[in-house]
Every structure is written in structure tokens, then in C-alpha cells.
Structure 1
Amino acid sequence: MAAARRALLLHGLWMPPLAMRRFAARLRTAGFTTGIIGYRSIFGSTDAAVDALRARLRGGEPTHLVGHSLGGLMALQALQAEPALPVARVVCLGTPLCGSGAARVLSRRALTALYLGRSAALLRQGCVALPEGVEVGMVAGSRPRGLGALVARFDEPHDGTVAVAETRLPGLADHVVIDASHSGLLVSAEAARLAIGFLRDGRFAR
């Protein structure tokens, strides 16, 4: 499946599918066919969204997945639930694999917990373990611009929403940190270049 030329993209919390269009366009320029998965990140069930992704992948052609933030967690949840899905590689963009400190802080109060909606539990928990047999790469950001920093009060490198340490999980095929904010990862030409290299080779081209 490493030769897959198809990629499905998943947006993050509070994002519409439109947010992934520029990234998808860069993948298409590199020769990939793309699709964007939309889901209701606040009022919808994460389980329902994961099930919909599994149904779309099941029985299809070999496919790569690219997920921004929460979207990366959804992709990995789908693969944990159904390891036989035809997925070759996964690129996560600023995904809090180890759980989000900002999400944990917001969940402490009923009013601020509304910001996370029904995605709160998954964001707090992160990814317990990476799926076997699938290469997963992480592009993390280190530009500290974002409202999440006001909530979590990071004392370590972060992208304004997610700490770099929260993106590291044992078993990753590769991990790279670039100068981009959390939302900036979506429009970063460098992030797209790195993702394209990983989808092709299973490693980030430094």
C-alpha cells in the first residue's frame, strides 16, 4: 500500500472542510488524488464520525490519511477500530497524540467545556497507542500564536494550541517541528512539502 496515490484529509476542531482545501491542492499538484472528510466536530459524535470514515475506506483502494489536530486523532481511532482498512500512511498536523493540556483545562468548567463539545473526551485522552502496520508521521508547529496558549499557559515549545511534547508518541515513523502556528500548519508550504515526502517515502525530507 506504500504506493498509494490517494489521500483523504480530515479537518480539526471548529474547522469546516474548506479549511483543508489549500493543503489538498498542494497534494494534487504533487500527483495525489484527494478528498476531504467533513464531520461535526462540536455537536456531532466522534464515534459516528470515525464510523463514517471507516465506511468510506472499507473495501476501497489503498489510501493515505492527513489529519489536522482532532482530525489526526479521528484517523488513528478508525485504524485502531478496524486494522484491516486499506490505509498506507498517516500524516498528523499538530495532533495532540498524548492528549491536549488545553482541552483538559477547558473541561474543568461547564461553560468553557462547551468549546470542545462532544470531542472533549478524545482530545483529553489523545491516542492510547498507534495502530500497527501503518506508518504515522507528525508535523508539529512551534510558533506560539493561538488562544490555547492563554488557557494552557505552556512552559515549553508549542504552536499556540498544542505543545510539541503532546505531539510525540512512541512508535511514530517520523516527527518534525516547523515554524508554524496550529492553524498555520494548514497553509504552510513547508508542512505540505513534508507531508508529500512522507506519503511517498515514509520519512520526512529534511
Structure 2
Amino acid sequence: AAPAADTVVLLHGLGRGPASMWPLARSLEREGYHVVNVRYPSQRADIATLAEGALGPVFGDARAPSSARIHIVTHSLGGILVRRYLKDHGAPASLGRVVMLAPPNSGSEIVDTLADWRVYAWINGPAGLDLGTAPHHAPAALGAPPTGVEIGVIAGEYSWNPFFSALIPGPDDGKVAVARTHLAGEADHLTLPYSHTWLMNRRETRRQVAAFLREGHFARSAAPGF
């Protein structure tokens, strides 16, 4: 069970909302955590603005007990927001562990291919355009997170989209290559046979998130299933 005061902040992905994280939220509440399922306008602002808007209020809340730890679990773009916030502010004293689900930590070839399409920019906004693999895009430009932050990464390697997967070298989840989910300094990394869109809702994913928040590493006796 979770320490009584611990909070878990959930950050959804690009073009999604808190509803996409609801099964995970319920699962973590059953583990004893206080869960904050953040809504942010992922398609309407740049990454720096989104990071500050989503996480600034969380770590700036003077009402939070000083002994409480604030963990973060992200899906996709949410992981990049955490990296941006840590780059801008360093690691808050109250920060606990971080789990990133399907994060494009080195960008996505899908963005490289589609960014020049006007409809892509219209749908996904400034943040979506900044998720490519070039050195000037956010995933590469943000660099490594501060030393001492415990980050676990779960990648998916099942794709429903053969067109997108054809654009991505190696195993992928339909949007992000497994190899591009890795992050310098990560405490643990796990690959599960699920797609990008639904990775956070799978039972085994939820089990592994809870394991990392509790232990600082994933459970290696995993028996994935849909």
C-alpha cells in the first residue's frame, strides 16, 4: 500500500484528456494514493507553457504537507512536459518517482514525416510539432533530467498501424520506436506488448506502474496479457 500522504499526478498525452488515464487513476487509488488527474490543453500551446501550466500548481501548492511525496505518471507527451519542468525548475524537494508510458524521449519519426502537413499542425498544435527527432526538437534539446530523479519507462511494442510502423525503425508501438523511449539516467525500462494509444489502460501496465512507485523498479515476473 502507498504511504498515506503520497500523491500521484497523472499527465495524459497529446490530443487526449483525463478520461484516458481514468482506469490507471482508479487502480492507483486502490493502492492508497491520492490521485490528481490533470487536464491541460495539449493541442493549443507550446511545451514550456504546457509544462508550467500542468505542473506549476502541483509543486507550488503551499498546502501540501512537507512530508508528502508527489509522484508523476505520464503518457506520451506528458513525459516531455515533466522533462521540461525539471529543466526549468530542477527537481522539487517533494518529487517522488516518475513513470513515463510510451514517451517520445528521442522524438518520433511520425512527426518528422507529417509535420509539414497542414492538417497535422492544425490538429496537434505547437507541442505536437516539437516532438520530432531533430536536435532542435524538444526531446533532444531538453537533455538528461537532474541527477537523482528516479524515472521508470514503459514502452509498447504492438502496433495497430502498419503505415506508421513502416516509418519507424525497429520495434514500435505505432507512434514511437521502443529505442526512442529510453532516457539518459533512467532507473528502469520495460517493454510490454501493447499499443501506444492504450498502453496506460492495460492491467499489466497498471501493475508495473504501482511496482515502480513502490519499489523504484519494475516487477520482472510479469505475465503480460490483453
Q: TM-score, structure 1 length as denominator?
A: 0.90
Aligned twin of 2:7: 6
Q: Does structure 1 retain, via aligned residues, the 8 Å contact 2:107–2:176?
A: no
User: Residue 141 in 1 paired to residue 149 in 2?
Assistant: no
Gaps of 5+ in 1: none
For 2:20 and 2:150, locate their aligned partners in 1 and report how far apart those are by CA, in whole Å: 25
| Aligned sequence identity (%) | 34
User: Residue 72 in 1 paired to residue 79 in 2?
Assistant: yes
Q: Does structure 1 retain, via aligned residues, the 8 Å contact 2:110–2:168?
A: no
**How many residues are matched?**
204
Q: Secondary structure at the match of 2:148?
A: coil
The correspondence for 1:130, drawn from 113, 122, 145, is 145
For 2:165 and 2:192, locate their aligned partners in 1 and report how far apart those are by CA, in whole Å: 22
Residue-by-residue CA offset, 1:117-168 (whole Å, 9 max, x unaligned): 1113542231421232210110100111248x53762231000111101101
Alpha carbons of 1:151 and 1:139: their partners in 2 closer, same or farther (altered >3 Å)?
A: closer
Gaps of 5+ in 2: 221-226
For 2:172 and 2:43, locate their aligned partners in 1 and report how far apart those are by CA, in whole Å: 23
For 2:167 and 2:151, locate their aligned partners in 1 and report how far apart those are by CA, in whole Å: 28
For 1:103 and 1:176, locate their aligned partners in 2 and report how far apart those are by CA, in whole Å: 24
Alpha carbons of 1:79 and 1:152: their partners in 2 closer, same or farther (altered >3 Å)?
A: farther
Alpha carbons of 1:51 and 1:66: their partners in 2 closer, same or farther (altered >3 Å)?
A: same
Larger Rg: 2
Residue-by-residue CA offset, 1:49-100 (whole Å, 9 max, x unaligned): 2112123212444200000000111122112211242211110000010112
User: Residue 195 in 1 paired to residue 202 in 2?
Assistant: no
Q: Does structure 2 retain, via aligned residues, the 8 Å contact 1:136–1:174?
A: yes
Q: Secondary structure at the match of 1:114?
A: helix
Q: Does structure 2 retain, via aligned residues, the 8 Å contact 1:96–1:162?
A: yes
The range that moved more, 54-63 or 181-190, is 54-63
Deviation of 1:11 after TM superposition, in Å, equals 0.3
Q: Secondary structure at the match of 2:155?
A: strand
Residue-by-residue CA offset, 1:96-126 (whole Å, 9 max, x unaligned): 1011211121113333333321113542231
Q: Secondary structure at the match of 2:198?
A: helix
The range that moved more, 149-158 or 8-17, is 149-158
